[in-house]
Structure 1
């Protein structure tokens, strides 16, 4: 026998299954690259590529740096900072903070699990499905960037924010969400304008419930 009959009996993967398998191997290679690469590469903005299907658009390097510094200043000595769906800010924070500052990343994309215990899997659809180590009102500031410009997404993300923060909130989202942000979270639009590596169709803005230091250097007409 030439083996052709045996070969016909071997199960064949569908195109969908093959694509899923390729995605798995690609993700695994990226994780291994992050783990084995230099520390500064591991936390570089863009070290993990954007996934548009997850509505991921990374901040520009300058914006991520500015927001990270703002969070550090707002958190104070021995501060605790939570980044909710804002991995590029988390990455910048890791290059700035010392051992006295605690930083946690709540994120749906499991590729960021390469960051170890500081990564917490987070699905905004289950806003309070959080590990027990994230105690209520345990973060000095919560910096959040809801993945979708929808009232539902903001409502659910707000539940997480209210649970985690001691008081200070810094939120980045589309300007079109201003009224909803004010209604749900009581935040005011800031002068500072965040930028992304790619141009977005919607104007993006920052909102906060305290006077952010970034506004001192930002002058936007019509914003008091």
Structure 2
């Protein structure tokens, strides 16, 4: 590789980074216009391993959750605030959604918010009853056996059956063992590129195995 090739590669990386920042700035401007449920209205905290989905991914996952939960369904979002936010944007009286999250900044969402620490997976608010949710969507903050194993206990406690898991591709075998989920074709994206390949998994026949509609 010659010097010009290095320059081209570097330029491409700078261009990609600039585009990402542009889209993030646009998203922040939209949030600043008063939409409390805008994806990105709360800044990512990397110390908590927070990486928000792109608006398109949050939309697709929210729509999948609504369809899987069914009419009158209740959806629990565990460590997936961007999907919860999108659900609230799409909200109608045909479903409800709650957010279980460690970051107390999301307590701004009132009665929908429940503090959650995956290290105490069954130490839940008294208002969270067994098998009380038609669908549980979860995104463990860390790619570790411990994190997924503990969060799986919460997922199985809350769900009536349907599970939508979002985590790294490297967790495929463990996810199948713990939650009987299979990898979907849909490729989720984040506002910022992640080093690890990220995938979605379900334990039911999912619309995430169908092509995206543009």
Closer, same or farther: CA 38–197 of 1 in aligned 2, 3 Å = closer
Deviation at 1:38, TM superposition (A): 7.9
Q: How far has the Cα of 1:99 moved from its partner?
A: 2.5
Alignment match, 2:80? 86
Selected match of 1:117 from 89, 101, 111: 111
Instruction: Map 1:26-105 onto structure 2 (within 5 A).
Output: 41-105=35-99
Larger radius of gyration: 1
Structure 1 alignment gaps of length 5 or more: 1-36, 219-224
The offset of 1:131, in angstroms, is 1.2
Is residue 2:155 matched to residue 1:161?
yes
Return the alpha-carbon distance in structure 1 between the equivalents of residues 137 and 75 of structure 2. Answer: 8
Q: Any residues of structure 2 matched to 1:126-141 within 5 Å, and which?
A: 126-141=120-135
Query: What SS does the aligned partner of 1:205 have?
Result: strand
- Pick aligned residue for 1:171 from 165, 169, 173: 165
1:148–1:178: structure 2 CA closer, same or farther, 3 Å change rule? same
**Inter-partner Cα distance in structure 1 for 2:156 and 2:34:** 32
Runs of 4+ with >2 A deviation: 37-40
- Cα offset, 1:97, TM superposition: 1.8
- Alignment partner of 1:42: what SS? coil
Q: Separation in 1 of the partners of 2:159 and 2:204?
A: 13
Q: Find the residue that maps to 1:113 and give its secondary structure.
A: helix
Say whether residues 1:146 and 2:121 are aligned partners: no
What does the per-residue CA deviation read over 1:108-149, in whole Å, with 9 as the maximum and x for residues that have no partner?
000000000100000000001111111100100000000000
Cα offset for 1:205? 0.2
Deviation at 1:184, TM superposition (A): 1.1
Does the CA-based 8 Å contact 2:53-2:189 persist in structure 1? yes
- C-alpha displacement of 1:216: 1.4
Q: Distance in 1 between matches of 2:181 and 2:203?
A: 5
TM-score normalised by length of structure 2:
0.82
| TM-score w.r.t. length of structure 1 | 0.79
